[in-house]
Amino acid sequence: MDPQLVETTSSWAQFWDAFELFRDPILCALIAGGVLGFLSVYVVLRRMVFVSAAVTQSAGLGVALAFFAEIHLGLHVAPTVGAVGMALLATLLLMMDPSRLRLTRESMLGLAYALTGGAAVLVGDRISQEAHDVEAILFGTAVLVERSQLITVAAAGAVILLIHLWWFRGLTFASFDRTGALVQGLPVQVLDAVLMISIGLMVGVSARALGALPVFAFSTLSAIGALMLDLRLPWTFLLATFLGAVAGLGGYLFAYFYNFPVGASQTVLSGALVLLALAARGVKQLVSRGAAR
- Find the CATH number of the domain harbouring 48: 1.10.3470.10
Q: pTM of this prediction?
A: 0.85
Contacts of 69 (CB under 8 A, 6+ apart): 75, 76, 77, 82
Q: How confident is the model at residue 77 (pLDDT cuts 50, 70, 90)?
A: confident
pLDDT at 28 over 60: yes
The kind and range of the H/E element at 216 are helix 212-218
- How many structural domains compose the chain? 1
Does some domain include residue 83? yes
Does some domain include residue 287? no
Does some domain include residue 175? yes
Calculate the CA 97 to chain-centre distance. 25
- The pLDDT mean for the chain works out to 84
Does some domain include residue 292? no
Does some domain include residue 293? no
Q: How confident is the model at residue 136 (pLDDT cuts 50, 70, 90)?
A: low
How many helices (H) and strands (E) the chain has is answered by 14, 0
Position 6 scores a pLDDT of 41
Cβ–Cβ under 8 Å, residues 204 and 196: no
Chain segment 247-293, per-residue pLDDT in tens: 999 999 998 888 888 888 999 999 999 999 999 988 888 877 766 66
Chain segment 180-189, per-residue pLDDT in tens: 888 888 898 8
Q: What number is the average pLDDT over the span 199-218?
A: 88
Does some domain include residue 250? yes
Q: Among 111, 131, 130, 137, which residue's Cα sits nearest to residue 54?
A: 111
Cβ–Cβ under 8 Å, residues 222 and 40: yes
Cβ–Cβ under 8 Å, residues 58 and 215: no
92: containing domain: 3-280
Contacts of 210 (CB under 8 A, 6+ apart): 28, 29, 32, 140, 142, 145, 248, 262, 263, 266
Range name among 82-86, 93-97, 219-223 with the lowest pLDDT average = 93-97
Which residue did the predictor score with more confidence, 21 or 246?
246
Q: What number is the average pLDDT over the span 206-233?
A: 90
Question: What phi and psi values does residue 31 have, to the nearest 5 degrees?
Answer: -70, -50
Amino acid of residue 64: A
Does some domain include residue 288? no
Does some domain include residue 290? no
Range name among 44-58, 93-107, 278-292 with the lowest pLDDT average = 93-107
Residue 162 and residue 168: Cα distance in Å, rounded?
10
Q: Around Cβ 13, how many Cβ atoms within 10 Å?
A: 10
